[in-house]
Amino acid sequence: MDAVLVTAAIFGLLLCGCSVSGVEGIGVNYGMIGNNLPSPDKVIALYRASNITDIRLFHPDTTVLAALRGSGLGVVLGTLNEDLARLATDASFAASWVQSYVQPFAGAVRFRYINAGNEVIPGDEAASVLPAMRNLQSLRPAGLGVPVTTVVATSVLGSSYPPSQGAFSEAALPTVAPIVSFLASSGTPLLVNVYPYFAYSADPSSVRLDYALLLPSTSAAVTDGGVTYTNMFDAILDAVYAALEKAGGQGLEVVVSETGWPSGGGGAGASVENAAAYSNNLVRHVGRGTPRRPGKAVETYIFAMFNENQKPRGVERNFGLFHPDMSAVYHVDFSA
């Protein structure tokens, strides 16, 4: 979709207030580490014009939240990692956070989850995650009403192969286990960032590209106790499910809060063709569930909406579905 067509589609949506008709549960991360990105109102209109139904924000931004009023988009709202310590130890700060970023937009913005922290487990800030979650969750009677969770990377796993042997690492388990119990008590999913690309690019001679790109191939399949895995996305996700079950989280759901493939930047396999294949295969696939949980659709957020020019040089700048001028890097059929 070129820039002229995108602009025309956005203008039409702004005039008619049309609803979003894409695949529910497939969202896109809205990263803002760039100095040439479109204004938030144009970005939200681009989401709707592209049939994207859900959005993840890495941190609260009142201009973006205002642009989301009445959009119908489901919103995952993150806290800044640097705010975790105060959210954990200062209930009044947690209340102020909710009063600033949630309550003024409640009703007009469809909040799905609040995530306290992003990829801080294990690490120095890990101990603040659960107390921060508890403080934010305790405000639900005051009008929050939004499930509170956190985001982890798959580095929390100490074992992931074969998938049935998935288990949290010794470093992560003391922090993750009580979070799993907390989430299970409220029926709230854990958010996990899942990147087959980085597993592939770290060892392209050992990992088949078609297996990483969700292109089923019997030659690349992995067998685990009679279960066959034809793609790495399912294998990683089922390793997380296995780890959750070992930690007492039987039945706990997982939301894939980030996944994607770079279209350039010099990394192994980083190309427009491969990025388009991964994202489109993903959209078609996640509604089917995984071998461990067949038929259970996986709510998934692609990383990211734009190429961001202030991220580190290389592939990190090239995960976007769109260029900053809102022309497509490649097309994703969100109505698939």
Q: What are the catalytic residues?
A: 119, 258
CA distance 191 to 211: 23
Distances in Å between the alpha carbon of 313 and those of 181, 195, 266, 279, 319? 39, 19, 10, 22, 12
What's the CA angle centered on 166, arms 163 and 169, to 5 degrees? 150
- What sign does the CA torsion over 246, 249, 251, 256 have? negative
- What sign does the CA torsion over 149, 155, 264, 204 have? negative
Distances in Å between the alpha carbon of 316 and those of 5, 63, 136, 271, 279? 27, 25, 31, 13, 16
Name which of 146, 168, 170 is nearest 156 in CA terms.
168
CA distance 118 to 258: 11
Q: Copy the structure tokens of residue 99.
A: 């009063």
